[in-house]
Amino acid sequence: MPIFVFPWSIRLILFGLASVFAMPSASASLESDLNALFTKSLPQAVWSIQVDNLEEEENLFALTPQRSLIPASNMKIVVCAAALLRLKPDFRYQTGLWVSGKQSGSTLEGDLIVVGSGDPSIGGRFNGNDVTALFRQWAGVLKQNNILRVTGDVIGVDDVFDDIRHGLNWHPDNFLDWFAAEVSALSFNDACVDIIVEGAAKAGTPATVRTNPPTQYLFLSPSVMTVATAKSEKGVAIRRSNDDLGLTIQGSIRTNRSSLHYAAVPNPTLYFVSVLREVLQAEGITVEGAAKDADDVPALPAQKTWRLLHVHESPPLSALVNVCLKNSQNLYAEHLLKTLGYHEYGTGSWEMGVLAMKDILNEHGCNLDSQFIADGSGLSRENRLSAQSLIQVLRVISNSPYKDLFQEALPRSGVDGTLKRRLNGPSTNGRIFAKTGTLNGVRSLSGYLNAKSGKTYVFSMLGNSTRGAQQMSGMMDQALELIASQG
């Protein structure tokens, strides 16, 4: 058999061609790295992951993207997108101050009636932390109308939402926490009371415990001591009494230090009108009646006797979505969801809100019928979403007029929100806009990535595991760093 010997030039060409065919492409190498990361690093974890090139609509990486998992706060992406698409960014809630009965001189012989529409923002967040600013404004409105004495009650009406205050299977152990605050169409200060604990100047003496706003709605039983050193400091624990209206505050704090805590209140509607009544009294307006939830009033005054004094408007929906996404504020998400139910079907409930949200997104090409949604915030462990469904929603909002508004409302890596201290390396800092999600055994991260290559990726990563939740967050960050630098 003859032996052929190729000239060196031809041999080099053939060697180059062989190398080209043998060498994996950059995208194949990246896909291999990502697959190894998610399948080998934490074997007990289950994943639902999808990463696409946003402009070209090409898939970069996928790992069981149709699998529906507990999404935690990634649920907020869905409710905020639906709210923007239907209600529009300039939508504002309205809360009305009404009076009933007759006025004789400076005396109102009747009631003050506050009618809520679901505004979650009344309080200090948009008023320089002045939580009772609106209530003092209303005191001024009453004085302008020469009302200095009210013989009746201060009544709160919250009928645009149903009376179910906690989401499906929210854990009762969380009911005192701000993130599980009760949902009411008449809400104030995030349905919480702020508790400020201040250490004394001398160790061994009781610390000062006070609330903001100052109120008699809740009864405090403080037992916090001032200690001299950090080693002796045990922190502050808050517990609710059996009647729900008492709070026990225990623990210790160092000298001349202060700490701020938030406690969710029972019946936000009654809390709203109770503090309003207290502020009116402090502003020199006598209120002889009590603060009452309209649900506990046998018969409201006939509406023909009502007179509107003032309408308070919330900040625009665009600002509320920013709080919901960037701060991961659960209460805002639940209010938006129930508002969609009321807006679409006349019933402000979780069930009708979910139906409305799915219908709105379905109109824009997102089919969420196979996904189970229990609430708007993602606090319920009954929620199930897939990465594929979240990608659909993120694509829809990216193709809408609200693309920039929505992206800017998401936490930005290394810059703000819940990503302020994450993904701040050279390849990712400031380049990722995404919503985080955290529950026991659950981590999620979905949003947009502007890679160094100039490409924009839309991604969703959901992980559920019996252990290693913190490791899941690290794996997600590592994956995004790989994509940002190589994609």
Total residue count of the chain as it appears in this document: 487
Res. 17 pLDDT band, cuts 50 70 90: very low
Question: Last residue of some domain: 286, 313, 340?
Answer: 313
Question: Last residue of some domain: 313, 332, 367?
Answer: 313
The C-alpha atoms of residue 263 and residue 134 are separated, in whole angstroms, by: 21
Whether residue 345 sits in one domain with residue 232:
no
Domains identified in the chain, total number? 2
> How does pLDDT run across 38-94, given as a tens digit for each residue?
998 898 999 999 999 999 889 999 999 999 999 999 999 999 999 999 999 999 999
Residue 9 placed within a domain: no
Q: Which residue has the higher pLDDT, 14 or 284?
A: 284
Query: Looking at residue 243, what is its pLDDT?
Result: 81
> How does pLDDT run across 201-216, given as a tens digit for each residue?
999 999 999 999 999 9
Backbone angles phi, psi at 79, to 5 degrees: -70, -35
pTM given for the model: 0.93
Query: Looking at residue 33, what is its pLDDT?
Result: 93
Q: What is the mean pLDDT of the chain?
A: 93
* pLDDT greater than 60 at residue 23: no
Residue 446, H or E segment? strand 442-450
Token digits of residue 100 = 């009933």
The C-alpha atoms of residue 338 and residue 334 are separated, in whole angstroms, by: 6
Res. 456 pLDDT band, cuts 50 70 90: very high
Question: Last residue of some domain: 265, 298, 313?
Answer: 313
Please name which of 349, 192, 342, 376 lies closest in space to residue 271, comparing C-alpha atoms: 192
* pLDDT greater than 70 at residue 6: no
50 neighbors 65 (Cβ within 8 angstroms):
yes
* pLDDT greater than 90 at residue 15: no
Task: Find all residues with CB under 8 Å of 239, minimum gap 6, and list them.
Answer: 176, 247, 248, 250
184 neighbors 161 (Cβ within 8 angstroms):
yes
Res. 244 pLDDT band, cuts 50 70 90: confident
Please name which of 80, 88, 53 lies closest in space to residue 395, comparing C-alpha atoms: 53
* pLDDT greater than 50 at residue 7: no
Residue 15 placed within a domain: no
Residue 385, H or E segment? strand 385-386
The average pLDDT across 215-227 equals: 96
The average pLDDT across 440-456 equals: 95
Whether residue 254 sits in one domain with residue 183:
yes
The average pLDDT across 243-269 equals: 95
The C-alpha atoms of residue 410 and residue 382 are separated, in whole angstroms, by: 24
> How does pLDDT run across 163-180, given as a tens digit for each residue?
999 999 999 999 999 999
The average pLDDT across 18-25 equals: 42
Whether residue 326 sits in one domain with residue 372:
yes
Whether residue 188 sits in one domain with residue 147:
yes
Residue 287 placed within a domain: yes
Query: Looking at residue 57, what is its pLDDT?
Result: 82
Query: Looking at residue 16, what is its pLDDT?
Result: 44
> How does pLDDT run across 301-320, given as a tens digit for each residue?
888 899 999 999 999 999 99
Whether residue 343 sits in one domain with residue 208:
no
Res. 186 pLDDT band, cuts 50 70 90: very high
419 neighbors 360 (Cβ within 8 angstroms):
no
> How does pLDDT run across 379-431, given as a tens digit for each residue?
999 999 999 999 999 999 999 999 999 999 999 999 999 999 999 999 999 99
* pLDDT greater than 80 at residue 19: no
Res. 9 pLDDT band, cuts 50 70 90: very low
Residue 19 placed within a domain: no
